[in-house]
Every structure is written in C-alpha cells, then in structure tokens.
Amino acid sequence: MNTQGQGSDPGRSVTHSATGSDPGRSITHSRRIGVLISGRGSNLQALIDAIAEGSLNAEIAIVISNKADAAGLDRARAAGIETLVLEHRSFASRDDYDAAIAAELRSRGVSLVCLAGFMRLVGPRLLDEYPQRILNIHPSLLPAFPGVDAQRQALDHGIKVTGATVHIVTGELDGGPIVVQAAVPVRDDDTVELLSARILIEEHHLYPEAVRIMLNGGWRLDGRRFFRALE
Ligand code: GRF
C-alpha cells in the first residue's frame, strides 16, 4: 500500500501519494487499471479514448465482464486490451467470485479498479483487496436515487436537476465517498431515454477525470469527504 497510515479506516484522514512515480516498488504505484463491465461499455470506451488522446495517463490492463455477450468486450478487443469473462454463476459464492476477480486484477498489477456498468455487488473479498481503490459511476447525483433505474427514479420523483457521480466503492450500495459529480437539468419534455443520453455525455467526461484524480494521488479522505490534491 502506498497510503500513509491505515487507509481502510474511513474515520481517519489519510493522504494517498502519487502513483506512477516508482513503478518498481509496489503495484499500488502503477497506473494500471482494471475495468469491470456487464454490458454496453460506453464508459469503458470513454476511458479508452481518454488514454488514446493523452488526456488520461493510464493503461487498461484488463477488462473483465460477468457476461459473455457484453458489447463492451468488443470495444476492449478493438483497442487491443486483454479481456476476460468470469460468469458469476460458475462460482459457488460471492466470496469465491470476488476472490477470483481480485486474483486476476492483482496478477496484472492493477492498482485501481473501475466499475463501468458492472451489474454486480462487490463484496468484502474484493473490497479488502482494493481498499479505497475501486470506483463506480452512477447516473444520478448521489445520495439521491441509488440502485437501478436511477434516471427513471429521478423523473418519477419530479426533480429538476440530476446528474452523474463517480464514487469510491464501499460495502454500501452506491454509498461511498464522492470523488466527482456533474449536474444535468431535467427538461419538462424529458423521457428516460432522453435524460439518460444527456447524463451519459457527462459520465463520459467525468469518469476519466475521476481516474486521473485517483491515479495522480495526493487526495485524502476525511470521513466521507474526499479532497483532491491541491494543484
Ligand atoms: C451507466 O449509465 C453507468 O452510470 C451505470 O451503468 C451505465 C453503464 O453504461 N452504472 P455503459 O455500459 O458504460 O455504456
């Protein structure tokens, strides 16, 4: 671990040092990320594109899907990224499944895990392997509308502003410390599809930004509050 102090205690303020400065010392110093998907993979594509255009200094070491037919797998293959299908049904328990994912990520020197439309809850076996090192993107301004169908929940509730959130994954569904958010106004003539499409545009900016912030280090958590490095 490259944390100063015990990084897994949310009650403490811990500063995370920059990654990439000493690649030989520890895998947590790498800029290698692992992306977990279940479907379309447009956020994966946003990460691939940001890396390709040089706005994100990272390397996607592996893309893992729990579904063999996830379209995102083709996006990864097209970009020359290693892919792996791990179907949760082939494992006896969530623990076994999470342990298998953790082993695959570790063996490739992954230091940061990005859930990008991964429709599985992450259990303690994976969380303990990557404390404060798993990100998720969610299509609402958390803590509003966690869980599935966030855009529909927002429309049904009649709110006027929603958005997207990237947060650190904890044991609480969509409940971890918030890294970055973007707001999206709700229009009177919105449908779930129209609103989702506008939120998705923001997601594709937000996820590369969040990964950049995490990999650059210098960020710290104070309770639930995430503070990025001073620039
Ligand atoms: C996104 O809306 C994301 O916020 C949510 O699932 C969707 C995944 O889309 N967690 P994609 O697979 O990245 O296109």
Q: What is the CATH number of the domain that holds 41?
A: 3.40.50.170
Check if 40 has its Cβ closer than 6 Å to any atom of ligand 1.
Answer: yes
For residue 57, is it within any domain? yes
**Backbone phi and psi for residue 78, each to the nearest 5 degrees, phi listed first:** -60, -25
Minimal CA–CA distance to 100: which of 112, 89, 91, 108? 91
CA of 231 to the centre of ligand 1 (A): 30
For residue 190, is it within any domain? yes
Check if 137 has its Cβ closer than 6 Å to any atom of ligand 1.
Answer: yes
Burial of 16 (0-12, 13-18, 19+ CB in 10 A): buried
Question: Residue with the nearest Cα to atom 4 of ligand 1?
Answer: 138
Paired strand residues for 221:
14, 226
Task: Please give the distance of CA 231 from its chain centroid, rounded to a whole number.
Answer: 23
pLDDT band at 5 (very low <50, low <70, confident <90, very high): very low
State whether the Cα torsion 87-88-93-94 is positive or negative: positive
**Backbone phi and psi for residue 185, each to the nearest 5 degrees, phi listed first:** -70, 145
Provide the residue range defining the domain that includes 163.
14-227
Domain count, the chain: 1
For residue 3, is it within any domain? no
Q: What is the pLDDT of residue 231?
A: 72
Cis peptide before 124 (omega within 30 of 0): no
Structure tokens at 8: 């897994």
For residue 8, is it within any domain? no
In angstroms, the CA 40 to CA 162 distance is 22
pLDDT band at 29 (very low <50, low <70, confident <90, very high): low
Residue type, 226: F
Q: What is the pLDDT of residues 33-65, one digit of tens each?
A: 999 999 999 999 999 999 999 999 999 999 999
Answer for the pair 163, 183: CB distance below 8 angstroms, yes or no: yes
Q: What is the pLDDT of residues 181-202, one digit of tens each?
A: 999 999 999 999 999 999 999 9
For residue 9, is it within any domain? no
Question: Residue with the nearest Cα to atom 2 of ligand 1?
Answer: 139
For residue 171, is it within any domain? yes
Compute the C-alpha angle 186/187/191, nearest 5°: 90
For residue 7, is it within any domain? no
Check if 116 has its Cβ closer than 6 Å to any atom of ligand 1.
Answer: yes
pLDDT band at 2 (very low <50, low <70, confident <90, very high): very low
Answer for the pair 179, 214: CB distance below 8 angstroms, yes or no: yes
Residue type, 145: F
For residue 6, is it within any domain? no
CA of 13 to the centre of ligand 1 (A): 30
Q: What is the pLDDT of residue 71?
A: 98
Report the predicted TM-score, pTM, of the whole model to 2 decimal places: 0.90
- HEC assignment per residue over 110-127: CCEEEECCCCCCCCHHHH
Structure tokens at 146: 């966690």
**Backbone phi and psi for residue 75, each to the nearest 5 degrees, phi listed first:** -60, -45
pLDDT band at 3 (very low <50, low <70, confident <90, very high): very low
Answer for the pair 19, 7: CB distance below 8 angstroms, yes or no: no
Q: What is the pLDDT of residue 27?
A: 37
Q: Please state, for a pLDDT cut of 90, what percent of the chain lies above it.
A: 86
Residue 28 reports pLDDT greater than 60: no
**Backbone phi and psi for residue 99, each to the nearest 5 degrees, phi listed first:** -65, -40
Check if 202 has its Cβ closer than 6 Å to any atom of ligand 1.
Answer: no
Q: What is the pLDDT of residues 115-159, one digit of tens each?
A: 999 999 999 999 999 999 999 999 999 999 999 999 999 999 999
Section 12-31 average pLDDT: 52
Residue 10 reports pLDDT greater than 70: no
pLDDT band at 230 (very low <50, low <70, confident <90, very high): confident
Among all residues, which ones are annotated catalytic?
138
**Mean of per-residue pLDDT scores for the chain:** 90
